[in-house]
Amino acid sequence: MSPPDSENPALGSSASAFKLHVGLFGGTFNPIHYGHLTVARQTQKALGLDRILFIPTGDPPHKPEKDLASAKDRYEMVRLAITSESGFAISDVETKREGKSYSIDTVRQLRQENGADVHLSFLIGLDAFLDVPTWREPDAILKLCSFVVLNRPGTSFQALTRLTSLRSLPLQSLADLDAGRISKLEIPLGSQRLICLRLPPSEISASDIRQKIRQGLSVANLLPPSVESYIIQHHLY
């Protein structure tokens, strides 16, 4: 468990009534690699999260991408990758859902399953968060959970000023984030929080891993051995 809020300012006063603080980490994880795991560990430590919940996406409702492994395979690879991590867990909320999956449906289901004692924070890259206004029911999802926005190459935290749903943003603090003078910024978002988090960039890419596998090159230093064994055994990519 995390220490009380007085000892853990990262949670903020809005989390004081919650027993658990869970980070929701969604993605295709095609495949999951050390970059994903490092981001999860760094975010968990920076924010004092009790748990990181990995949420692999389901199968596309129409024709899948050429090199997208099945939801079953991607779920299993994540499960193998986090087996030894006590603070990590996995959810099949999206891999079991039929048809197109929307983030609002996922958050609502997890909110219902976890109850009011659990504070949910949605981990998301800055580039993807800038597209939140195009999501289904964007205003609703911003009220159901906090958002942890992670830096992405080529995207500036100051771009958040383009979002009309965010008001009175601390411009100097956003500039400080972009310049690396600070690593974290918390912004009230109604009853929730918007937490901007700057982490060291990862050089590992899932697309590069898939390319190396197709070329018969080693990926031993890019993902857990259990995941590599699964890929070989099931002839993925």
Residue 225 lies in a domain: no
State the total domains in the chain. 1
Tell me if 52 sits within 8 A of 88, measured CB to CB: yes
Summarised one tens digit per residue, pLDDT across range 157-212 is 999 999 988 888 999 999 999 999 999 999 998 889 999 999 998 999 999 999 99
Q: First CA to last CA across the chain, in angstroms?
A: 39
Is residue 28 one of the residues assigned to a domain? yes
Torsion, Cα 56 62 66 70, to 10 degrees, reads 40
Average pLDDT over residues 79-104: 94
pTM, 2 dp: 0.89
Q: Is residue 232 part of a domain?
A: no
- Decide if 138 is inside a domain: yes
Q: Decide if 160 contacts 127 (C-beta within 8 A).
A: no
CATH number of the domain enclosing 152? 3.40.50.620
Residue 24: its H or E element: strand 20-27
* pLDDT given for residue 225 in this prediction: 97
99 belongs to a structural domain? yes
- Structural domain containing residue 72: 5-203
DSSP 8: -
Is residue 146 assigned to a domain? yes
Residues 6+ apart with CB under 8 A from 133: 163, 164, 165
Higher pLDDT, 201 or 91: 91
- Cβ of 133: how many Cβ atoms within 10 Å? 12
* 224: in domain: no
For residue 17, the model assigns a pLDDT of: 58
Tell me the pLDDT tens digit for each residue of 214-235.
999 999 899 999 999 999 999 9
Among 17-21, 125-129, 198-202, the least confident range: 17-21
At position 123, the amino acid (one-letter code) is L
